[in-house]
Amino acid sequence: IATVLPLLILSACAAPAPQPPSTLTAEEQSRQLLEQTAQQYLSQAQTAQSPQREELFIWAADYFARAHNVVLSQHSLDQISQPKRLSNDLMSRYTLVQVQILLVENNAFAALQLLNNLPDSALTAENGQQFYRRRADAYRQMGNDLAATRNLIWLAGLLESAQQRDPIHAEIWALLQ
């Protein structure tokens, strides 16, 4: 017993204290994860060369915008010194992030103006999906459910699997009721 007791005391001291359960909501945890991902992109962008550098800043800005962190999202975009020189693909992604920032700020009218200035030739398959998603969100913010529904229908047509389309179809039906 004399040799076991000190070992038990040592093991009790070495054992980590039990952690209290997380008090973050699922939404807060999601935002935290999005911000961590954005920080990783920012870190990578610091050492990257152009055009990968600009792409990483856009990814960081996108993740910050998804986390509703408008300040860091805009700061990430501001790291791109000459956005007008971006390729069509990067310029459309840059614009889509600007639109997301405007939507987080509840500025749907300005968001739609930016979207309407995007040339069709700049939209890839992925950007096209984001384009229609953002347009639907902007119209919904403005209270125009019919226009939001139209854009969701166009979005659903761009999705490849039923698993991707089913939530969009549910959203469409909810707007039509």
pLDDT by residue for the chain (177 residues), tens digit each?
444 444 444 444 454 555 555 688 998 999 999 999 999 999 999 999 999 999 999 999 999 999 999 999 999 999 999 988 998 889 999 999 999 999 999 999 999 999 999 887 778 888 899 999 999 999 999 999 999 999 999 999 999 999 999 999 999 999 998
Q: What integer pLDDT is reported at residue 161 of this predicted model? A: 93
Listed in sequence order, the DSSP H helices in 105-144 are: 108-116, 125-141
Closest CA to 156 of 176, 144, 170: 170
Compute the distance between CA of residue 132 and CA of residue 33 in angstroms, rounded to an integer: 25
Task: Enumerate the H helices of the chain as residue ranges.
Answer: 4-14, 26-47, 52-66, 70-78, 88-104, 108-116, 125-141, 145-158, 162-176
Smallest CA-to-CA distance from 95 within 53, 67, 69, 124 is with 124
